[in-house]
C-alpha cells in the first residue's frame, strides 16, 4: 500500500512543474483513502430535482461507494438518506427511480415513508424486543443536503463549507447550462450508463481534455467529413471541427478543484438553442447568451461534468473499485423545448455520446489501456503539462466579460488544448487526501 505522505502530486509552480504519479490510479490503499477523504468529505452531485417530478418519488444514487436515496415526501419536500435499511443494511430502493407511497425492505419487510421515517417493524408485537431496541428506526439522513438551481448535492460529512461557497465562482458557468430554457432544464428521458475497467480519475481528466479529440476520435472526425460532403445522416447537423480548431479558447481555474474550458463559437446556427436565441437574449442579456453559444466544459470536483459542445451533456461517474468506474451520461435540455429542436438535440447527443455512438466507445477503450499502462510502467506522467507556459494567475478579458474571478487562466489558440485544467482538481485531491485529522487517525 502506498504511503499517503508520498507526494503523489508534484506541484512546484516556481519551477513550472506539475505532474501526477501513476500510482494514484492503481493503489488500492489510496483508493480506500479517496472514499473516506475525497468522497466522504466534500459535496457530491446527486441528481436533478426534475428527476423527482412530484410527491412520493424517489431516486437512488451514490456518493462514492455509499448508496444514497433522494426522496420527495407527500408534501413534495426533498430528503436525502442512506439507501440502507436500519435493520441489517439491505438496499431499500433497487432501481434508479420510482414512485411509491412507502418503501418496503425486501429482506424482512420493514416499512419506511418517503420522508425516511420507519412506519412499521414487521411483526413487532410478537418479537419480544427488549428496551435496548429503542424507538429510532428511521433511515439515516445525509449529514448535508442542498440544491443549486435544480442540481442536488449531498455530503457524508457535516464539516463541509456551505454548497454555495464550494461551488464558488464556477456558478456563472453552471448557470450558462442551467438557464438555457425559460422554465428550467430537465434530463431527456433515458440515460447512458456503463462501467469501465479503469480508475475514476481517467474520466475526471478526459472531461476537459480537448487534446485527444483529433486522435482518439479520428473515426468520428472522418464520418463528419463524409457528412460535410453530403453522405450519411444529415439530420444531426454536426459541427465542422476543423472550423472549431481555428477558434480562440481558454481555461478558468477555480477554488475547490473546479475548472472550466471554453472556445469561441463557430457554427452557432447548429446549436439547438439557436432558434430560441432571441428569447434567451431578452432573458439573460447578450453577453451570457453569446457565452451559451460557445463550446464549454465544466469539471466540478470530484465527479460532475457538464459539456456543451457536441450536445449539452451532464455526466457523473462513480468509483466502484480502484479499477472499476460507473459512468452516467444524461442529455440536458430546456423544459418545454419544441419537438423538432429536441429531436435535433438528441441526434447530436446519440452521435457522439451513446454507447453505440461514434465517440464514447473510443474513450472507454483508451481508459482501460491507460490503466494497463499504469500497472506495467509506473512513474511520473506527463499529462498535465500542456499549456502550462500560458497559465496566468487571476482573471483575463474572458473572465471579466463573463463576470467570474478565477484563480488562474489560460487563453490562446484552441490548438493549445491545454492540460492545466487538471491542476485545480489534483490540488484539491491532495489537500483532501492529506487532511490533518486523517494523518492523526492513521498514526493513532
Ligand atoms: S434488512 Fe431491512 S428489514 Fe431486515
Ligand atoms: Fe473523448
Q: Residue with the nearest Cα to atom 1 of ligand 1? A: 88
CA dist 11 and 20 (Å) reads 8
- Cell 508534484 maps to which residue? 10
Ligand 1 contact via 108 beta carbon (within 6 Å): yes
CA dist 409 and 393 (Å) reads 6
What is the distance in A from the centroid of ligand 1 to the CA of 94?
14
- Cell 439491505 maps to which residue? 90
Ligand 1 contact via 346 beta carbon (within 6 Å): no
Ligand 1 contact via 87 beta carbon (within 6 Å): yes
Q: What's the DSSP call for residue 35?
A: I
- Give the end-to-end CA distance of the chain in Å, rounded to a whole number: 18
**Is residue 229 classed exposed, middle or buried when 0-12, 13-18 and 19+ CB atoms within 10 A define those classes?**
exposed
pLDDT recorded at residue 5: 55
* Domains of the chain, start order: 44-146 (2.102.10.10), 162-436 (3.90.380.10)
pTM value is: 0.94
What is the distance in A from the centroid of ligand 1 to the CA of 121?
9
pLDDT recorded at residue 6: 65
CA dist 173 and 178 (Å) reads 9
CA dist 2 and 21 (Å) reads 11
CA dist 34 and 49 (Å) reads 27
CA dist 163 and 157 (Å) reads 12
Q: What's the DSSP call for residue 39?
A: I
Q: Residue with the nearest Cα to atom 3 of ligand 1? A: 108
Ligand 1 contact via 107 beta carbon (within 6 Å): yes
DSSP E strand boundaries for 273-363? 295-300, 304-308, 312-321, 324-334
pLDDT recorded at residue 53: 93
Describe the strand order of the beta sheet including 144-148 as a list of residue ranges.
44-48, 151-155, 144-148
Residues 6+ apart with CB under 8 A from 51: 57, 59, 97, 187
335 three-state secondary structure: coil
Ligand 1 contact via 88 beta carbon (within 6 Å): yes
Neighbouring CB atoms inside 10 A of 352's CB total 21
Q: Residue with the nearest Cα to atom 4 of ligand 1? A: 108
DSSP output for 342-382 = HHHHHHHHHHHHSTTSSSHHHHHHHHHHHHHHHHHS-SB--
Atom number of ligand 1 nearest to Cα 122: 3
Ligand 1 contact via 435 beta carbon (within 6 Å): no
CA dist 351 and 374 (Å) reads 31
Whether the CB-CB separation of 316 and 323 falls below 8 Å is answered with: no
> If we measure between CA atoms, which residue out of 350, 67, 69, 315 comes closest to residue 200?
315
What is the distance in A from the centroid of ligand 2 to the CA of 383?
15
pLDDT recorded at residue 292: 97
What is the distance in A from the centroid of ligand 1 to the CA of 110?
6
Say which ligand is closest to the CA of 121: 1
> What does the block give as the cell for 33?
483513502
CA dist 81 and 144 (Å) reads 10
C-alpha distances (whole Å) from 297 to each of 49, 162, 231, 258, 393 are 22, 24, 30, 11, 20
Atom number of ligand 1 nearest to Cα 109: 3
Report mean pLDDT in 10-residue bins for the chain, 444 residues.
67 94 95 96 96 96 96 98 98 95 98 98 97 97 97 97 97 97 93 96 95 91 86 78 84 97 91 95 98 96 95 96 96 95 93 86 95 89 94 96 97 88 96 70 52
Atom number of ligand 1 nearest to Cα 110: 3
Say which ligand is closest to the CA of 208: 2
Candidate of 87, 116, 127, 129 to mutate for ligand 1, largest count of ligand atoms within 8 Å of Cβ: 87
Neighbouring CB atoms inside 10 A of 50's CB total 12
Ligand 1 contact via 110 beta carbon (within 6 Å): yes
409 three-state secondary structure: strand
Handedness of CA 194, 199, 204, 209 (dihedral sign): negative
> What does the block give as the cell for 328?
452516467
Amino acid at each position: 500500500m502506498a504511503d499517503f505522505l508520498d507526494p503523489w502530486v508534484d506541484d512546484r509552480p516556481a519551477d513550472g512543474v506539475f505532474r501526477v504519479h501513476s500510482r494514484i490510479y492503481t493503489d488500492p490503499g489510496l483508493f480506500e483513502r479517496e472514499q473516506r477523504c475525497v468522497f466522504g468529505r466534500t459535496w457530491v452531485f446527486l441528481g436533478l430535482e426534475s428527476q423527482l417530478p412530484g410527491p412520493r418519488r424517489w431516486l437512488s444514487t451514490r456518493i462514492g461507494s455509499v448508496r444514497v436515496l433522494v426522496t420527495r415526501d407527500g408534501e413534495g419536500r426533498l430528503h436525502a438518506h442512506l439507501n440502507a435499511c436500519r435493520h441489517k443494511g439491505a438496499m431499500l430502493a433497487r432501481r434508479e427511480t420510482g414512485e411509491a407511497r412507502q418503501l418496503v425492505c425486501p429482506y424482512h419487510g420493514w416499512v419506511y415513508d418517503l420522508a425516511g421515517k420507519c412506519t412499521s417493524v414487521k411483526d413487532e408485537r410478537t418479537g419480544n424486543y427488549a428496551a435496548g431496541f429503542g424507538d429510532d428506526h428511521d433511515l439515516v439522513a445525509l449529514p448535508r443536503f442542498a440544491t443549486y438551481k435544480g442540481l442536488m448535492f449531498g455530503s457524508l460529512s457535516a464539516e463541509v463549507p456551505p454548497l454555495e461557497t464550494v461551488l464558488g465562482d464556477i456558478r456563472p458557468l453552471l448557470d450558462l447550462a442551467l438557464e438555457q430554457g425559460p422554465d428550467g432544464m430537465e434530463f431527456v428521458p433515458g440515460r447512458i450508463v456503463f462501467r469501465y475497467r479503469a480508475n475514476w480519475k481517467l474520466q475526471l481528466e478526459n472531461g476537459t481534455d480537448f487534446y485527444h479529440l483529433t486522435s482518439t476520435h479520428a473515426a468520428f472526425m472522418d464520418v463528419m467529413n463524409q457528412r460535410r460532403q453530403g453522405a450519411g445522416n444529415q439530420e444531426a447537423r454536426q459541427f465542422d471541427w476543423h472550423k472549431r480548431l481555428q477558434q480562440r479558447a481558454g481555461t478558468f481555474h477555480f477554488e475547490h478543484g473546479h475548472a472550466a474550458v471554453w472556445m469561441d463559437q463557430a457554427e452557432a446556427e447548429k446549436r439547438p438553442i439557436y432558434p430560441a436565441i432571441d428569447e434567451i437574449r431578452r432573458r439573460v442579456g447578450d453577453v451570457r447568451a453569446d457565452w451559451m453559444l460557445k463550446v464549454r466544459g465544466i469539471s466540478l470536483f470530484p465527479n460532475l461534468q457538464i459539456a456543451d459542445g457536441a450536445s449539452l451533456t451532464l455526466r457523473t461517474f462513480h468509483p466502484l473499485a480502484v479499477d472499476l468506474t460507473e459512468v452516467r451520461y444524461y442529455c440536458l435540455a430546456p423544459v418545454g423545448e419544441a419537438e423538432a429542436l429536441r429531436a435535433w438535440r438528441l441526434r447530436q447527443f446519440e452521435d457522439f455520446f451513446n454507447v453505440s455512438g461514434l465517440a464514447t466507445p473510443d474513450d472507454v477503450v483508451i481508459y482501460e489501456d491507460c490503466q494497463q499502462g499504469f500497472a506495467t510502467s509506473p512513474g511520473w506522467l506527463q499529462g498535465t503539462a500542456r499549456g502550462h507556459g500560458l497559465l496566468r494567475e487571476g482573471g483575463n478579458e474572458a473572465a471579466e466579460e463573463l463576470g467570474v474571478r478565477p484563480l488562474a487562466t489560460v487563453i490562446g489558440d484552441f490548438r493549445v488544448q491545454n492540460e492545466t485544467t487538471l491542476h485545480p482538481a489534483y490540488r484539491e485531491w491532495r489537500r483532501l487526501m492529506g487532511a490533518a485529522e486523517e494523518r492523526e487517525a492513521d498514526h493513532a
